[in-house]
Amino acid sequence: MPRLDVGNAEVEFEVVEPVSAVSRLPLVLIHGFPLDRRVWRDVAAVTGRKWRTICPDLPGFGRSSGRAASIEALARNMHGLLSRLEALPAAVAGLSMGGYVSLEMARQFPEAVAALALVDSRASGDDEAGKEKRQQTVQLVRDSGGAVLVDQMLPNLLSPYTLAHRPEMAQRLRRIMLDVPAQTLIDASLAMRDRRDQQELLAGLTMPVAVIVGADDRITPPSVAEQMATAAPQGKLTVIPNAGHMAALEQPEAVAAALEKMMQSLVRS
Ligand code: MLT
């Protein structure tokens, strides 16, 4: 797989290229926590038929080196990668923590982001209770290792439908989560704790913003997604049935269809 040096990290990424692209605008899919680019693979297989689709591993995750120093730094890393790939401007989609990185890209590099998709994510920062929970996560990983955190998180990530009809999905997800090094679990938890509240930014964004959420997402529920879609001037909400917090993994065709709608709106405009 290709890798590129983005300053303080070597980022590995996958690109799915269409035979003949609908438009030259690339689509970048940024994974969440504690995951890597594999969560986007089934979505990229669909969007890559029409759009050049780039799936990176964030620094410290998957096969990328470096560390998840802060959400700001991760956004700079992603911008650096896309710039080196001559893939700017791009449509940027982020799953949960990937959404935090995508919003931060839109803040730091507004001209680089042609459209934004927030998938099972939120624009608000952590409140005091949330910050305290991050601290507990860090302590848990330090004391007991990453596997304990994975087993604590896993039951909240998938919808009842997925668990009933595709039980193998939990194992697939668990394998991806277990591959994240303990240091990255700690770094990324602290980075998320200290991230900006981007609600004001969201309300001022002029590009198309697709807000996509699993109907059964318990971590960033549909009510949060609805508020974001209302706040963004060009916000569009898609609720994905039979999906939880891992909509990209659970219902990739439906998520790809929502992303394709966003991409088509750019071709038309
Ligand atoms: C994620 O899925 O990336 C995390 O749930 C985000 C978070 O912990 O805030």
pLDDT in tens, 187-202: 999 999 999 999 999 9
Are 208 and 265 in contact by the 8 Å Cβ rule? The answer is yes
Q: From the CA of 94, how far away is ligand 1's center (Å)?
A: 11
Widest CA span in the chain: 53
- Which residue, chain included where needed, has tokens 């990328």? 64
Confidence band, pLDDT 50/70/90 cuts, at residue 20:
confident
pLDDT of residue 6: 95
Buried b (16+ CB within 10 A) or exposed e, 18-49: eeeeeeebbbbbbbbbbbbbbbbbbbbebbbb
Residues with Cβ within 8 Å of 234's Cβ and at least 6 positions away in sequence, in order, are 205, 206, 207, 208, 209
pLDDT above 80: residue 268:
no
Judge contact between 61 and 4, C-beta under 8 A. no
The tens digit of pLDDT for each residue in 30-64 reads: 999 999 999 999 999 999 999 999 999 999 999 99
Give the distance (Å) from ligand 1 centre to CA of residue 72.
16
Tokens of 201: 């930014």
Q: Is the CB of 32 under 6 A from ligand 1?
A: yes
Pocket test of ligand 1: the residue of 33, 136, 180 to mutate, having most ligand atoms within 8 Å of its CB, is: 33
Query: Does any ligand 1 atom lie closer than 6 A to the CB of residue 189?
Result: no
User: Residue 19: which pLDDT band, with cuts at 50, 70 and 90?
Assistant: confident
The residue whose CB lies within 8 Å of the most ligand 1 atoms, and thus the one to mutate among 74, 192, 218, is 192
**Ligand 1 centre from 6 Cα, in Å?**
24
Q: What SS3 state is found at 51? A: coil
Q: How far is CA 12 from CA 59, 178, 234, in A?
A: 9, 19, 32
Q: Does residue 33 have its Cβ closer than 6 Å to ligand 1? A: yes
Compute the Cα dihedral for 103, 264, 58, 223 and give only its sign: positive
Strand order from edge to edge, sheet including 27-30: 3-5, 10-16, 53-56, 27-30, 90-95, 113-119, 209-214, 235-240
Task: Decide: 192 in ligand 1 pocket, CB within 6 A.
Answer: yes
| Ligand 1 contacts CB of residue 53 (under 6 A) | no
